Structure 1
Amino acid sequence: MEFTGGGRLEVRITAADVGKRVSVRYVTDPGAAGARFTDAVGVLTSWDKGVLLITRRTGEAVRIAEASLAAGKVVPAAPARRRGPSAGFTELARAAAHAWQPLESEPLGEWTLRAAAGFTRRANSVLPLGDPGLPVDAALERVREWYATRGLPAYVQASTGAEGTQELLCADLERLGWVREITAELRTAPLAPLGDLDADVTAVRLSRSADETWLRRYQRFGEPGPHVVKVLGSGPSVWFASIPGTEDVPAAIGRCVVDGRWAGFMAVEVDPARRRGGLATAVMTALARRALDEGASAAWLQVESDNDGARALYDGMGFTVHHHYHHYRWTDA
């Protein structure tokens, strides 16, 4: 709670505070007998025509009638996490981009337009890390044109929940009719404890390339054309892990990209019939040890917010949420 029962309730925010992190208390059912209050904390992304829009850390937008406000104040940025490596949003966003590179890219001011023949949203979306050099409406029109010429849907990847993230852009995208399709968490952890996990890594094979058997377990594409292999092989120092299975399909796979102090973990997949047997842990432990040998000290990964099984696994490995990111798609409907 940001407000205590003994303190005087007072609204100390105005429309001039748009873009700042705020905490508010408001009446949820004004017509009911006795006031019922709810709190909301997040970035004030708009205050228009008597309605406030507050974007929470997870990207959830809360609309609050100005008349229902009981209290409100500007609050400091979310406190630094007590676990995991210290890192800023831009540093992590760039590390993630280095580890999953498109086939082509083009700058739009400080935005980067990325395309890879449609293989994954990450490689076929705009990465907006700053000012596009145009009003947002005009920049997004340019984005739509760029993707249309390539026969691709237009996506923008925008983040919430950390200092320097893009709550205001998310609000603009929703205002202009872009639809959020996917929300994911970018998580971080110290790397050394991953390498120290009690896992049997004797069966894990490491390689610098994704061979045909590795690709048979990876289920994120239709036909594994050269564009898929090129994206998977992109990054400063790329490693692929696999555990043999049956019929030339690995029981488990994983991918790690080492980039300075960071080791990014991706494409961790396990045969459904062999899940909960420690194979994912073995793959990540083997990759972590190789990354430690190359001088990395911190780990990151991305996991979709509705993937409860993977999130529980990563909780147990010490990964904590740094920020959320969202893919918004333009639709004419």
Structure 2
Amino acid sequence: MEISATGRLEVRITAADVGKRVSVRRMNDPAVPGEKFTDTVGVLASWDAGVLRITRKDGETVRIAESSLVAGKVVPSAPARRRGPSASYAELAHVCTRAWRPVESERLGEWELRAASGFTRRANSVLPVGDPGMPLDDALEAVRRWYGARGLPAYVQTATGAEGTQELLCAELERRGWVREVTAELWIGALAPLADRAGGAGVELSRDVDEAWLARYQRKGVSEVALKVLSSGPSVWFAQVPGSGGVPAAIGRCVVDGRWASFAAVEVDPGQRRRGLATEVMAALARRALDEGASAAWLQVETENAGARALYAGMGFAAHHAYHHYREPAVGKSDR
């Protein structure tokens, strides 16, 4: 906290600091037992009518009464990652969308509107990287019309927790009544250590997704649209470990795009887990990606999936940023 020469805590932020990363300390309600103070670090999203809105790294927006502040200051952005490959949010956002292409897309300024008949939010949401070329309210109205014309709910995919992410947009969406439905994380790591892992000899690789692979895939009843999304990307590979009854014991998907290799749909027969099959699948795919010139890897993992997080951390992956999907508000629920 900011301490003056006299040893007192001071509030050294103002409404002019909106958009900057800040650290504040507020006094808690004295009627509620517990700690006297609470500290919050994040991006100052707004300061209106005596209330500060600070969006933290995990995407949560905290509302703080100006009258409860006892200290505050602007702080530097989070230090750059020292582990694994370096990458900006913008680079990763575009690499991710190329690895999971929608069936239909359209530009709204620098934003990309994506649709695939509702198959996954990633392929049916706006990627708002850059300027939409119009005021935010007008852009969101255009988004709602575009998805409405396709019989789909409007979703906006945002990110928090890294340089250049969208804490301010998250706060503005929440202020307008958009509801955050999903939060996950994008993790990155070096590709070579994964490729060097033992195993992979029993893994079959193919350019095409077949019925056996789909039998293990968690999304049942895959449509023609879903097959197009699964097969999209610059260089797509499908992996499987043969199992009983014609259903693979494990599967995975990898897309190679320049220096990046993405991993997705890594799934293992529940009866054969903890045997290293997921590692074998990813190691085989990683070796193929290395052969195509990739050097870095990324994947997406849900925040509550403790098993997957432990697995990927052991492979050298670490979180780069969190991402969120905001759904349009019900009619009449917007703050506009």
Tell me if both proteins adopt one fold, taking TM over 0.5 as the criterion: yes
What is the SS of the residue equivalent to 1:165? coil
**Aligned counterpart, 1:177:** 177
Matched, 1:243 2:246: no
Amino acid at match of 1:270: V
CA distance in 2, matches of 1:158, 1:217: 30
Q: Displacement of 1:296 after TM fit?
A: 0.6
Q: Deviations over 1:101-145 (max 9, x none)?
A: 000100001100000111110000000001111111111111111
CA distance in 1, matches of 2:196, 2:316: 12
Contact 2:240 2:248 (8 Å CA) reproduced:
yes
SS of the residue 1:247 aligns to = helix
Residues 2 and 73 in structure 2, CA contact (< 8 A), matched pair in contact too: no
**Change over 3 Å in CA distance of 1:4–1:195 after alignment to 2:** farther
Q: Is the 8 A contact 1:30 1:68 kept in 2?
A: no
Instruction: In structure 2, list runs of 5 or more residues that go unmatched.
Output: 332-336
Matched residue, 2:334:
none
Match of 1:211 in 2: 210
Deviating above 3 A after TM superposition, structure 1's stretches of 4 or more consecutive aligned residues are: 2-8, 30-35
Contact 2:2 2:10 survives alignment (8 Å): no
Q: 1:4–1:184: structure 2 CA closer, same or farther, 3 Å change rule?
A: farther
Partners of 1:32 and 1:259 in 2: CA distance? 53
What residue is the counterpart of 2:63 in the other structure?
63
* C-alpha RMSD of the superposition: 1.8
CA deviations on 1:156-180 (whole Å, 9 max, x unpaired) are 1000001110111111111111111
% of aligned pairs identical?
Answer: 71
Other-structure match for 2:77: 77
TM-score normalised to the size of structure 2? 0.95
1:191 partnered with 2:191: yes
| Corresponding residue for residue 228 of structure 2 | 230
Structure 1: give runs of 5+ residues left out of the alignment: none
User: Residues 156, 35 of structure 1: CA spacing in aligned structure 2 closer, same or farther, 3 A cutoff?
Assistant: closer
Counterpart Cα distance in 1 of 2:233 and 2:319: 23
Is residue 332 of structure 1 aligned with residue 336 of structure 2? no
Contact 1:112 1:127 in 2 (8 A): yes
- Count of residues paired in the alignment: 330
* Higher deviation after alignment, 29-38 or 18-27: 29-38
TM-score, normalised with respect to structure 1: 0.95
Q: Where does 1:80-159 land on structure 2 (aligned, <5 Å)? A: 80-159=80-159
CA distance in structure 1 between the aligned counterparts of 2:215 and 2:317, rounded to whole angstroms: 28
The corresponding residue for 2:10 is: 10
